[in-house]
Structure 1
Amino acid sequence: MKPSKESVRAIKLRLKEVWLKNRGREVGAVIKEINPIIRGWANYHRKMVASETFKNLDSWMYWREQRYAKHKHPNKNSTWRKNKYFGRFDLKRGDNWVFGKKETGAYINKFSWFKIERHRLIPGLHCPDDPNPEVQQWFREKGARQSRDKNESWQKIAKNQKYVCPVCNESLF
């Protein structure tokens, strides 16, 4: 299942409105406003078959970023604009075409940086309410596997609580 065309159209429209609203504003303000939108949309859709959609949105964003830079500096050439706004902001990634503010190191996230999470089926007739110890063990291991995707402090809290919410006794994952 892919993100719907309407959803892609809506995110493009929303991002376009932000770009147009912030046309003359400072780059840091634009980044601050756009990143939460990208993060929210990408996190919602990363459980789908969305990698192709993410690549297309990254390409679309690149041209939006170019237009912003050209509007902000119409008399400067493309090399100057590239040196001013594009670079390798996140050293862990091999991407030299990241739009950002070099003075502060702030940059716009790319959709394709969000890891796609595939849905895993529960084997057989397993149910979290099944009293069978083997089934209970499988769900505990599932929680431990899912916790590895979280940061260290989140993992520590989850492990201390045995991957179960102390209030409602539901799995944390």
Structure 2
Amino acid sequence: MIKPSKKKVALHIQKLRDTIDAYKTASQAALINKLNPIVRGWCNYYSRVCSKQTFASCDKVLFSQLRAWARYRTGKI
């Protein structure tokens, strides 16, 4: 079975984290517009291999990062 390497998954998560940190004070729409091509491109690249579990774990990590971003922005949730 071919899966995305742990190193590439870690680099993808780090790139998402860096992007979210760079857009800490930006609007929600600006952050979404910046993250969309990153996530879509990575998922399209690895769509031909067995990566369902990898996508699920990356989704979980991205959700927690965005939730932390929302808490920072609003002070709620």
TM-score grouping bracket, smaller chain normalisation: over 0.9
Q: Which one has a bigger Cα radius of gyration? A: 1
- Residue in 2 that maps onto 1:48: 49
Alpha-carbon offset, residue 3 of structure 1: 0.3
TM-score normalised by L of structure 2 = 0.96
Measure the CA separation in 2 of the matches of 1:14 and 1:66: 17
Deviation for aligned residue 1:9: 0.6
Q: Give the structure with the higher percent strand.
A: 1
Shift of 1:18: 0.3
SS of corresponding position for 2:50: coil
Residue matched to 1:6: 7
Runs of 4+ in 1 over 6 A off after TM superposition: none
Give the distance between the partners of 2:27 and 2:49, measured in 1 at CA.
Answer: 34
Distance 1:61 1:17 in 2: 12
Counterparts of 1:65 and 1:13, CA distance in 2: 13
Is 2:59 the partner of 1:67? no
Root-mean-square deviation (CA), in Å?
Answer: 0.6
Corresponding letter in the other structure for 2:54: T
- Which residue does 1:27 correspond to in 2? 28
Paired residues, number = 76
In the alignment, structure 1 segments of 5+ residues that lack a partner are: 79-173
Q: Paired residue for 2:19?
A: 18
TM-score (norm 1): 0.43
Identical positions, percent = 28
| Bigger fraction of residues in helix | 2
Amino acid at match of 2:34: E
Higher relative contact order (CA 8 A, sep 6+): 2
